[in-house]
Amino acid sequence: MSYTGPDFDPPQPRRSPLRRPLTVAVAALVPGALLGWGVYAAVGGPDDAGGTDRAGSGVRTSPAPSTGGPASASDDTSTATGPSPSPTARKPSVSASPSAPAAASGPLKGKVVVIDPGHNPGNFQYATEINRKVNVGTHWKECDTTGTATNAGWPEAKFTLDVAHRLRTLLEEQGATVKLTQDDDRSYGPCVDERARIGNEAHADAAISIHADGSGAGNRGFHVILPGAVHDGPADTRAIVAPSTDLGRRIAGNFVRSTGTAPSNYIGGGTGLVTRTDLGGLNLSTVPKVFIECGNMRDSTDAALLTSGDWRQKAARGMSEGIVGFLRG
């Protein structure tokens, strides 16, 4: 069973003197457009795994996939003593884009969204620091991990930053104020407890942590991770479980529509939704938050999608439309 979430109701256009003739023209085109969509749905859409970004997208992206540093298949989706370490910044440390424009007017004006690009490209150089344990409420676990990588060596941390940049642009176009937990502006991390704290201190209206999975070959598709009810030590998710579930459902439904990608075939029972109580980024959040595993980097078919700029733009758009729908209610 494939999950389909709530539809996104786009902003209404301004009236124009040309509205009546345009309406007639559009009405004439609708049957053809619907026929075209039917064919698209029947064949599963175009294969855009070529890894080329659309020209003129105006989105800052990571370099083309290439071999990066060592990577493991674990993440905050992985598992005791000391406070979260404070990494040394390579560049001025900021949680929002240094070049981010002032929030535009739009349906999300006044809303704050925190994007958490999973891991950090420099984590593999700081094994001691990222292996230190932090309290996530239910247990202690590693500050952070290196994340996974494709079989060709393209790191998850590069993927997550690229998608985060694309998502930030789309949300800012809707008027939102967007903050990133890291923008490759620090040596490693931040730790999972700090990632949650950044969203909390920003009083985010919504937060999303972006990841890609490192499962076995043949395991395909995306899944959205929702926070379960936790009330233990510094963790108390009871107030955010319901709104986070709404957020996750909307993101999952729009992700399917935007990318044409099916929900995971190895977790979530075909719904694309999974509830967990072991993730520090969710346990310690006091704002509505979800994780998304966009696909499996260790499966060659999924990897071809994840390394495609066109597909990553569609993925960002699916997330954006889900967030917009959630924040507009």
Using an 8 Å Cβ cutoff, are 270 and 225 in contact? no
Where do we find the tokens 């931040």? 190
- Map residue 223 onto helix, strand or coil: strand
Using an 8 Å Cβ cutoff, are 277 and 283 in contact? yes
CA-based nearest residue to 205, from 60, 99, 103: 103
Q: Pick the catalytic residue from 129, 142, 172, 293.
A: 293
- Structure tokens of 80? 């005791």
The Cα 24–Cα 26 span in angstroms is: 5
321 is catalytic: no
Q: 177-180 and 206-213 as β-strands: parallel, antiparallel, unpaired? A: unpaired
The Cα 121–Cα 119 span in angstroms is: 7
- Map residue 52 onto helix, strand or coil: coil
Using an 8 Å Cβ cutoff, are 123 and 144 in contact? yes
- Structure tokens of 308? 């495609």
- Gyration radius of the chain's alpha carbons: 20
The Cα 270–Cα 266 span in angstroms is: 8
Using an 8 Å Cβ cutoff, are 247 and 327 in contact? no
- Map residue 184 onto helix, strand or coil: coil
DSSP bridge pairs for 231: 236
Q: Which residues are catalytic?
A: 293
